[in-house]
Amino acid sequence: MVEEVLPHAAERCAVTLFQADDLKAYAAELLHAGGYSPAHAERTADILVWANARGANSHGVLRIPRYIEMVEQGSIDPVAQPELVTHDGAIAVLDAARAPGPSGMVAAMDAAIDIAERVNIGWCSARNITHAGAVGYFALRAVESGCIGIVMTASGPLMAYHGAKVSGLSTNPISIAAPSNGRPLLLDMSTSTVALGKIMHAKDTGAAIPAGWAIDADGAPATDPNQVATLTPLGGPKGSGLSLMIEILSSVLVANPVIATVLGGGKGAMNGVALAIKVDAFGASEVFADHIADLSQRVKALPKAPDTDEILLPGERGFRLSEARMREGIPVADGTLKRLVTLGKRLGVSPPAAIKTNTAGS
């Protein structure tokens, strides 16, 4: 997941603005009414609105109807508690028991941080998670404890392997976060050209998608989000190769393979990895932060390409946008809001008062 800028019509879609706290409370209430325990509902609502605030609508509140559907289908256990099952040296394995993904990955990162506090580096593999959302959220949790954070998750086929015209891999995301004197550096990306949630958001906004994001059932480029059969890998063989290796690190390593199981006709799981690296194990954390600041300044001072207003660092746009939206309100596309309201009517949950409606933008 990268902070997104949706093109063309999506930029001009009708939206409704909500205060962040109101939107978060609404999301939590919907999830709780749909079966989530209060703690799981609060954690999931927090990461969804965090993503919306950063402009990553693909991983925001538009996911709630699908999450409730997954509860009803039995693929999410909305009250399960993740549990550490093994711990040996710097490595731990956690079984999330199909609990809501954000709770499972927070537990995994907290375990990795705890290990790093003792032995300087911690790795926690999380088996049997569910959709975790924007993985940068968990990597930043490591930064808050003075660590570099690395997070990966693996799921079933959603993306074509390079050279294939059908789904053969997932969009397996990776995030790396590093502390600095100011805002952290935060890389957060999927291994597909775009995340599946961007296709979902395009449907909600009534926008076409660019050729190259996805292919249809015949393997041809799809520009109608309703005709998408699978996503394309980022950079062709680079994206599919990276996704395959994340599957190995997240799933095969803990004897819980996903892709081979699904391609063989079975039912796959989801898995994740949280890694925390203690910065001061390598030297003074202040020196590291100074070097990050110096590196950032020199990169931003590079000569700009034509039509480039500013060179941005990983995560910079998202931090800026989040700061603005926390003050001014978070926009929700009308298509997304309609689906949430429909779900809320079924569950007995009313939407909060809006700041403004029918505003241009996304």
Q: What is the maximum alpha-carbon separation in the chain?
A: 56
Whether 12 and 73 map to the same domain: the answer is yes
Kindly report, residue by residue over 166-189, the tens digit of the pLDDT: 999 999 999 999 999 989 999 999
The answer to whether residue 146 sits within a structural domain is yes
The answer to whether residue 211 sits within a structural domain is no
State the total domains in the chain. Answer: 2
The CATH number of whichever domain residue 151 belongs to comes to 3.30.1370.60
What domain range is 123 assigned to?
Answer: 80-192+233-328
What's the pLDDT at 4? 43
Residues in the chain where the model's pLDDT stays below 70:
1-12, 358-362
Closest CA to 99 of 134, 147, 139, 67: 67
The answer to whether residue 217 sits within a structural domain is no
Q: The pTM is what? A: 0.92
Q: Are 59 and 1 in contact (CB under 8 A)?
A: yes
The answer to whether residue 243 sits within a structural domain is yes
What's the pLDDT at 11? 43
- Report how far residue 250's alpha carbon sits from residue 247's, in angstroms, rounded to the nearest whole number: 5
Whether 36 and 172 map to the same domain: the answer is no
Whether 7 and 98 map to the same domain: the answer is no
Q: Is 236 left (phi over 0), alpha (psi -120 to 50) or beta?
A: left
Whether 8 and 71 map to the same domain: the answer is yes
What's the pLDDT at 356? 76
Question: 292 in helix, strand or coil?
Answer: helix
- Report how far residue 39's alpha carbon sits from residue 37's, in angstroms, rounded to the nearest whole number: 6
Residues counted in the chain: 362
Whether 338 and 304 map to the same domain: the answer is no
Whether 255 and 313 map to the same domain: the answer is yes
Pair of tokens at residue 80: 């399960």
Q: Are 159 and 127 in contact (CB under 8 A)?
A: no
The answer to whether residue 200 sits within a structural domain is no
Whether 13 and 154 map to the same domain: the answer is no
The answer to whether residue 158 sits within a structural domain is yes
Percent of the chain with pLDDT over 70: 95
- Report how far residue 244's alpha carbon sits from residue 228's, in angstroms, rounded to the nearest whole number: 22
Whether 312 and 188 map to the same domain: the answer is yes
The answer to whether residue 210 sits within a structural domain is no
The CATH number of whichever domain residue 21 belongs to comes to 1.10.1530.10
Question: 298 in helix, strand or coil?
Answer: helix
The answer to whether residue 226 sits within a structural domain is no
Kindly report, residue by residue over 126-143, the tens digit of the pLDDT: 999 999 999 999 999 999
Whether 181 and 237 map to the same domain: the answer is yes
Closest CA to 148 of 126, 182, 122: 122
Whether 138 and 237 map to the same domain: the answer is yes
Whether 89 and 237 map to the same domain: the answer is yes
When computed from its CA atoms, the radius of gyration of the chain, rounded to whole angstroms, is 20
Whether 35 and 161 map to the same domain: the answer is no
